[in-house]
């Protein structure tokens, strides 16, 4: 099994660094361009939402992202100490509505659910833990 863990601060500038690490991980693991792009999209959506909406204070917080490949499965785990939030409990967005009639937000977790094969949430020891898996076909 091959894996990488990234510790991020709750600052927007960290998203670029995470993207660069995810891109290198994808290249090292010989993921397709589509798979690498999907990983970056999912991580960008999730980490941006954690940074923008997850914390009740302006203090320093840590977000841990682990990416691992074992066999034909990619596993991504995102862990944070933000307020409890189960993104899977949110109702799916109504994509039949005209763009101007849709409420703001809600598309991030829809993207995650669409891109990944499985998504699981748990709250443990004051931390949100989102575990996502995707079957991959290495190039």
Question: Residue 126 sits in a domain of what CATH number?
Answer: 3.30.565.10
Polymer length of the chain: 139
**Residue 68 banded pLDDT, cuts 50, 70, 90:** very high
- Whether the CB-CB separation of 25 and 91 falls below 8 Å is answered with no
As for how many domains the chain has, the answer is 1
Residue 136 CA to residue 103 CA, distance in Å, equals: 33
The whole domain housing 92 covers 2-135
Asked whether the predicted pLDDT for residue 132 surpasses 80, the reply is yes
**Residue 101 banded pLDDT, cuts 50, 70, 90:** low
Q: What is the pLDDT of residue 41?
A: 93
- Whether the CB-CB separation of 83 and 54 falls below 8 Å is answered with yes
Q: What is the pLDDT of residue 113?
A: 87
Token pair listed for 23? 């891109």
**Residue 21 banded pLDDT, cuts 50, 70, 90:** very high
Residue 104 CA to residue 9 CA, distance in Å, equals: 26
The model's pTM is 0.88
């Amino acid at each position: 099994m091959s894996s990488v863990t990234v510790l991020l601060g709750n600052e927007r500038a960290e998203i670029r660094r995470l993207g660069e690490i995810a891109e290198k991980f994808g290249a090292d693991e010989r993921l397709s361009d589509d798979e690498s792009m999907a990983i970056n999209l999912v991580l960008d959506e999730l980490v941006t939402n954690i940074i923008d909406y997850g914390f009740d204070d302006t203090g320093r917080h840590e977000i841990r992202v682990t990416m691992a490949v074992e066999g034909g499965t990619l596993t991504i785990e995102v862990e944070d100490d933000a307020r409890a939030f189960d993104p899977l409990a949110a109702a799916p967005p109504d994509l039949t509505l005209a763009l101007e009639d849709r409420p703001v937000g809600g598309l991030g977790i829809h993207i995650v659910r669409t891109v990944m094969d499985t998504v699981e949430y748990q709250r443990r020891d004051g931390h949100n833990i989102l575990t996502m898996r995707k079957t991959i076909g290495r190039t």
